[in-house]
Structure 1
Amino acid sequence: MVETYSTTEKIGKLKELFRSLKDEGDHKKALYLRKEFKEFLGQCDALTIARAEQELAKEGFTLQDFRSGCDVHLEMMRESLGQQGTAIPAGHPLTRFQQEHEAIICWINELLEAVRDAQTYSVFGDAKDALKRVEVLTSKLGETENHNIRQENALFPLLERHGISEPPRVMWGEHREMKEMKTKLHQAFETIDASNYLEVLSKMEETALLLEEYFASHTKKEQTILYPIAMRMFSPDEWKEFSDACEELGYFSLEA
């Protein structure tokens, strides 16, 4: 028989589990906690999880504390909240963000392919076409910062207006880290020449792999946590405010 909890009790239980996951160093106990957390998340919606995170933040939980359990949290989101989906009607302002998610992950994958292709040439001059593709895709990923800027200036303020502050804070921190990765890719490419191109491409591949993993994780949290909360809480007037802010900030092209 599944025990039932009130919303307040769910928040308290989630906070207890978050603390335990952060502090547990024993591997076997951690596996048990993962199982318990996974089972309990099946009883919680995205808003309840966000409220628990917000209360923990007020109690001193740091960004690193939340990130320490990020992988566990994401795994459970895929199997619980992820199954619920985000019912976004055609033409809704969030549809564009989902389209951008698909484009960005595609470009990261294409960059990895181009970097690996360029590494197959033993002569720098022969890698010209592959390197040009690397340059184009690196530049394109730089343009996608516009995606994060719109989230930070159009979506996050509305969530915070409704008292949802911790998820945007975590996402904002991840935006900064991904921006650093994109900058690192651009700066690395700028140093390429005939004497170092294989070494530089190897480092770019490593960074692109990290960005791919990071962005996939980040996107999953947006689509299973942030967007469901926004769909549930925002009024029609707030969606109009959101759309107007996005239009003012502009969009990057989805064409590669």
Structure 2
Amino acid sequence: MSELINNREYRRSVLKEIIQDLHRGKSVDEVKARFEATFQGVSATEIAELEQTLIQEGLPVEEVQRLCDVHAAVFKGSIEEIHRPEKIEDTPGHPVHTFKLENSELKKFLAEKLEPHLEAFRQDDKQEIIELLKQDLELLRGIDRHYARKENLLFPLLEKYGITAPPKVMWGVDDEIRATIKEGINLITHYSGARDQVAEKIKAIIEKVREMIFKEENILFPMAVNTLTEDEWGEIAAESDEIGYFLTEPAAKWKPANINVEEKARAEGERPADGYIRFETGLLLPEEISRIFNTLPVDITFVDREGVVKYFSQPKDRIFPRPKTVIGRKVTNCHPPASVHIVERVVDDLKSGRKDVEEFWIKMGEKYVHIRYFAVRDANGEYIGTLEVTQDIKPLQAITGEKRLLDD
């Protein structure tokens, strides 16, 4: 997420320089070109926030006020020339547009498929209708991808602005919906004639899903649009493919219109200095370290002593999706509310020294997943973090006999 911070800092410094140039007597025309190049696609709200930041840093309010007419003229011209009449979130491919597109398809699915099949089931619980309901609920289970993007990409950025309560409440409700769908699938799969019970469960699913659509579109999305910057929406858009979509795909490929400062620097030939990192048993280049971790047949995640996620590896076949938005986020905020107490207990056991390792194993479809948590300690035995190592051990369980080196 450093690129987002860099973009904000870069725009803040440019805005300050423009105001200073105007103060020194430069004309509107002289500064306008630089303003437009830097703030292309940036909302007026963010510009106002940057001005407020400069004032808080010590730029006299009178300076801004004295230059108000000239300043406003620069803003007015660029905003009218750059921004299209529609809202940015209505642009095809924008994360909010995609979320709403999924909700639209979801409402259509409920009205045209699930509800008619439920009504037919109430009238006649013949096997054909039971199979249709089962197919519907199995399909609806895919709503997890919609919720996972919301929870793992959108919520972390809202938390950065201190918006924590609504995401936590909504995540809890998402989990209730997931659980209710799972219960409905179980009831219809093992249907034994309790028609009213099954019907009420499916009705509850429909109501909960519709309520969540309403909460997203009337509370969450407007709040997010008023809070996040265009760069941050760009990060969400870039990370969304890894988690996936529900019932539809983005209508287009969307990227922020404003300049990514780091990409611009790389294009101009500015690159970070290459240097070796020295270890007790050798030395490696940063790229070599990254490639080594990503080549290991395990998922690795490191959480520091403060409970902040600092790193995760990206092997070819990850077991659990890890969007880059988790970096810098409290590990307790990366889990559903219902399981936070388990995470806290595991970390506390490792941190306190009661345990050096904790492990779990679960079945996930064709995989048999082994999850281990290791206490990472410094040379003096002081706790510095927790390392999570996840591996599909089913292929290992299938090993028998021996295979010598170079055997076919």
2:129 is matched by which residue type in structure 1?
A
Matches of 1:215 and 1:87, distance apart in 2: 26
Q: 1:164-243, aligned counterparts within 5 Å?
A: 164-192=163-191, 196-197=192-193, 199=194, 201-243=195-237
- Return the index of the structure with the highest Cα Rg: 2
Contact 1:93 1:239 in 2 (8 A): yes
Matched AA of 2:109: W
Q: Residues 71-125 of structure 1, C-alpha deviation per residue, up to 9 Å, x if partnerless? A: xxxxxxxxxxxxxxx873221221111122222233334323213313433xx6x
Structure 1 length-normalised TM:
0.58
* Residues 117 and 130 in structure 1, CA contact (< 8 A), matched pair in contact too: yes
For 1:252, which of 233, 236, 246 is the aligned residue? Answer: 246
Q: Does the 8 A contact of 1:105 with 1:212 survive in 2?
A: no
Task: For 2:114, give the aligned amino acid.
Answer: L
Question: Which one of 95, 114, 120 corresponds to residue 111 of structure 1?
Answer: 114
- Tell me, yes or no, if the aligned pair for 1:115 and 1:131 is still in contact at 8 Å: no
Q: Which has the higher contact order (CA 8 A, sep 6+)?
A: 1
Contact 1:154 1:242 (8 Å CA) reproduced? yes
Where 2:240 maps in the other structure, the secondary structure is helix
Aligned residues of 2:158 and 2:164 also touching (Cα < 8 A): yes
Where in structure 2 are the equivalents of 1:1-256 lying within 5 Å?
Answer: 88-91=89-92, 92-109=94-111, 110-121=113-124, 127-192=126-191, 196-197=192-193, 199=194, 201-254=195-248
Contact 2:141–2:181 under 8 Å retained in 1: yes
Quote the offset at 1:221 in angstroms.
1.8
Mapped to 2, the partners of 1:178 and 1:242 lie a distance apart of 23
Question: What is the CA RMSD across the aligned residues, in angstroms?
Answer: 2.1
**Alpha-carbon spacing, 1:210–1:119, altered in 2? closer, same or farther (3 Å):** closer
The CA deviation at 1:227 is 0.9
CA distance in 2, matches of 1:150, 1:226: 13
Q: Structure 1 unaligned segments of length 5 or more: list them.
A: 1-85
The answer to whether the 8 A contact 1:146-1:251 is kept is yes
Taking every aligned residue pair, what percent have the same amino acid on both sides?
26
Structure having the higher helix fraction is 1
Deviation at 1:165, TM superposition (A): 0.6
Aligned residue pairs total 161
Q: Structure 2: where are the runs of 5+ without partners?
A: 1-86, 250-408
Q: Is the 8 A contact 2:122 2:199 kept in 1?
A: no
Write the distance in 1 (CA, Å) between the matches of 2:138 and 2:95.
26
CA distance in 2, matches of 1:190, 1:105: 24
CA distance in 2, matches of 1:190, 1:216: 24
Give the strand-richer structure, 1 or 2.
Answer: 2
Maintained 8 Å contact 1:108/1:208: no
